[in-house]
Structure 1
Amino acid sequence: MCHALGQEHEQSRTDRDNYVEMLWSNIQDGQGNVNMRKENTRDNHPYDLESVLQYSLGAFAIDTSRPTMRVLDPKLAFLADAATGLMYYDVRDITTVYQCTRGCSNPPNCLNGGFLNHRCQCYCPSGLTGNDCSQIQTDNSELENIFDQSVI
């Protein structure tokens, strides 16, 4: 779906070598693999390991027990292979490219990296909520569990 909307894979970005190392010796067809080649991309956001457009770290492996990409910052490696659908920057790019907010009148001022979505409401980064993304999202069940434990 994202390709039909003009999106490109994250590992095809021109700046990808700042974030992932390509392990060419384990990639089918090596540097000739069109799926792993760098392209002239419009990079409107930071490199997004969580993106649905980031291939898994073992994509196109010759030996499937070994990775084809390595995240340079090991603390962020858990983000790769985590996408379960369109992620924050995926939605932001599509909304921007297709001018989905063009018809919004009196839109809210989205804070903290939030952006206006196609419904003329703020789409907030993970962990934030509210009409303008100014509130921290909490899980009340965790709070209730803490209070229940304190009574014991």
Structure 2
Amino acid sequence: FYSEAHLLLLKLLTNVSAALKSGLQNFLKTLKVSSAAGCFVELLQKTSLNHMEGPQDSRPNETAFEHFHLKSCIDFKPRQTEKCYLSVRKNPGCYSYVSRIIKSGQVVSIGEQCDHLGIVEHEFLHVLGLYHEQSRYDRDDYITIMWKNIKDGTKSTPTSSTTFNAPYDYLSLMHYGKNFFSKNMENTIVTKLPQYQDKIGQRMEMSPTDIYKLNHLYNCSKFSLLLKSPLYIHYFKMFA
């Protein structure tokens, strides 16, 4: 059973794709580069990227890149001779640094169990500067961390990263699920709004709030019309 917010997310994602494909892709295609991207100015203007080899590996990546193109001002392109680039590899696991850490050939791993649209988008949102939603400094107002159930070596504290003045989003693609990194199959996160307990950790695709943060970070107005739509405003108010 889906909550009202979850159904609204599905409806918004459908409307976003339809609206963008019908004309919003002609919006602003240049942008000022935030310091979060560092030398990834090439990632935004003359993007440099190593694709993984083979059609099975590249399909979810290319779909994710198309979503970034449709929903933001960011384009991913194959690397040619650029010195600042990402190296997408099929290492064990799914992982990425947050923002630019390594200038040349920064690794993004999309492993065996990671080749799904939402997971690929999740890792590339890290590349572009977004942290996990449950790492917000105000997370304790919205969730309870069950420290006793978390595996040793995987515990983390909130960061001081900006919230972009966005409400806490239980349906963010960047939110962990209720039992991620559990050592005993018990919950590691408990939502203070019970109706979202089984909804956190969705890996369908970026939520409207994820898209808002990304566009805000890179000063992109491409998504501005959709942000003003009644559906989006209603989605925002559900978490305010």
Give the TM-score normalised by the residue count of structure 2: 0.41
Q: Structure 2 stretches of 5 or more lacking a match?
A: 1-123, 234-240
Structure-2 separation of matches of 1:71 and 1:55:
11
Among 131, 151, 156, the residue aligned to 1:8: 131
CA drift at 1:84: 0.9
Q: Are the counterparts in 1 of residues 171 and 207 from structure 2 also a CA contact under 8 Å?
A: yes
CA contact (8 A) 1:54 1:81 kept: yes
In the aligned structure 1, how far is the partner of 2:194 from the partner of 2:228? 26
Q: Specify the alignment match of 2:70 in structure 1.
A: none
Runs of 4+ that moved beyond 6 A:
none
Q: Which residue of 1 aligns with 2:160?
A: 40
Greater relative contact order, per chain length (Cα 8 Å cut-off, separation 6+) = 2
C-alpha separation between the residues in 2 aligned to 1:128 and 1:70?
27
Coordinate RMSD, CA, aligned? 2.4
Aligned-partner SS, 1:122: helix
Distance 1:124 1:78 in 2: 29
Q: 2:172·2:209 contact (CA, 8 Å) conserved in 1?
A: yes
Post-superposition Cα deviations, 1:107-152, rounded to whole Å, max 9, x if no partner, equal xxxxxxxxx51xx642466x738xxx8xxxxxxxxxxxxxxxxxxx
Q: Which amino acid aligns with 1:23?
A: M
What does residue 94 of structure 1 align with?
214
CA distance in 2, matches of 1:22, 1:128: 31
Task: Indicate the residue corresponding to 1:67 in structure 2.
Answer: 187
Would the aligned equivalents of 1:50 and 1:83 in 2 still touch at CA under 8 Å? no
Structure number, greater radius of gyration: 1
Q: Which has the higher helix share?
A: 2
CA distance in 1 between partners of 2:179 and 2:198 (Å): 13
The aligned amino acid for 2:133 is E
Q: Aligned residue for 2:176?
A: 55
Query: What is the count of residue pairs matched by the alignment?
Result: 110
Length-normalised TM-score, structure 1? 0.63
Identity of paired residues, percent? 27
